Chain A
Amino acid sequence: GAVVSQHPSRVICKSGTSVKIECRSLDFQATTMFWYRQFPKQSLMLMATSNEGSKATYEQGVEKDKFLINHASLTLSTLTVTSAHPEDSSFYICSASGRKNLANEQFFGPGTRLTVL
């Protein structure tokens, strides 16, 4: 399957700071990228969907001014958590979808664990 990477894999920051998470599709062009959040012992919850070159579409209850998403190219999307607070501590996972094959599966990154102190 295709490879999607995330960086960093783990980050610890102080409350009030901003954190940027990168998501890269390494061997295919990702026309659409998705950002999910997963709290302990819970399932993945979609935060937003982004298409290359256009604004992201956010799910209900997700603050677009707090979670800034940029999908500037077909291989890179970034999620910036602005003014992070302890309640933003979570496992953030991106996935990418593109016209790589007919299966139309999404390829998921390894996740980024954010801890806000």
Chain B
Amino acid sequence: DAKTTQPPSMDCAEGRAANLPCNHSTISGNEYVYWYRQIHSQGPQYIIHGLKNNETNEMASLIITEDRKSSTLILPHATLRDTAVYYCIVRGFNYGQNFVFGPGTRLSVLP
């Protein structure tokens, strides 16, 4: 699986959009970009995933660059409850394949 690079930490004001970047310059054609987050002392929570098109769901939007070498997770209106570690993971779409977690980005939403 391709390696990802994320900033170790970010701050965001409550109510503003949080934009979390991820670099995955070695991504291959059949690999997807997944985003998970982990709130302190809980299991990771699935947020969104995509292949090459931008995606949006009730939690977030995922913007993938045309060359697929980077992506941005957008939380449109961050709340205090969005404070967590956010993991960007690149993985092939094979059932039974595990996720490899990097250090992620620690997002702190400030009041």
Contacts and interface: CB of A to CB of B under 8 A. Distances in A.
Interface of A: 1, 4, 6, 31-32, 34, 36, 42-46, 49, 51, 91, 93, 95, 97-99, 103-111, 113
A111 B96 contact: no
Contacts of A105: 34, 46, 49
B13 interface: no
16 contacts: A4-B43, A32-B96, A36-B101, A42-B103, A43-B87, A43-B102, A43-B104, A95-B99, A97-B96, A98-B95, A104-B95, A105-B46, A105-B49, A106-B46, A108-B44, A110-B43
Interface of B: 34, 36, 38, 41-46, 49, 87, 93-96, 98-104
Closest 7 CB pairs of A and B: A108-B43, A32-B96, A44-B101, A43-B101, A105-B46, A108-B44, A111-B43
A93 B43 contact: yes
Contacts of B44: 44, 93, 95, 108
B4 to A, nearest CB: 12
Contacts, number: 59
Given A49-B96, A104-B95, A105-B34, A110 B49 contact: no
Given A43-B103, A104-B93, A110 B42 contact: yes
A1 B46 contact: yes
Contact of B95 (A31, A45, A113): A31
A77 B19 CA distance: 37
Contact of A113 (B36, B41, B100, B101): B41
Given A34-B98, A113-B41, 18 more contacts: A42-B103, A43-B101, A43-B102, A43-B103, A43-B104, A44-B101, A46-B100, A51-B96, A93-B44, A95-B99, A97-B95, A103-B46, A103-B49, A104-B93, A104-B95, A108-B45, A110-B42, A111-B43
Nearest to B92: A104
Nearest to B35: A105
A4 B102 CA distance: 22
Nearest to A34: B98
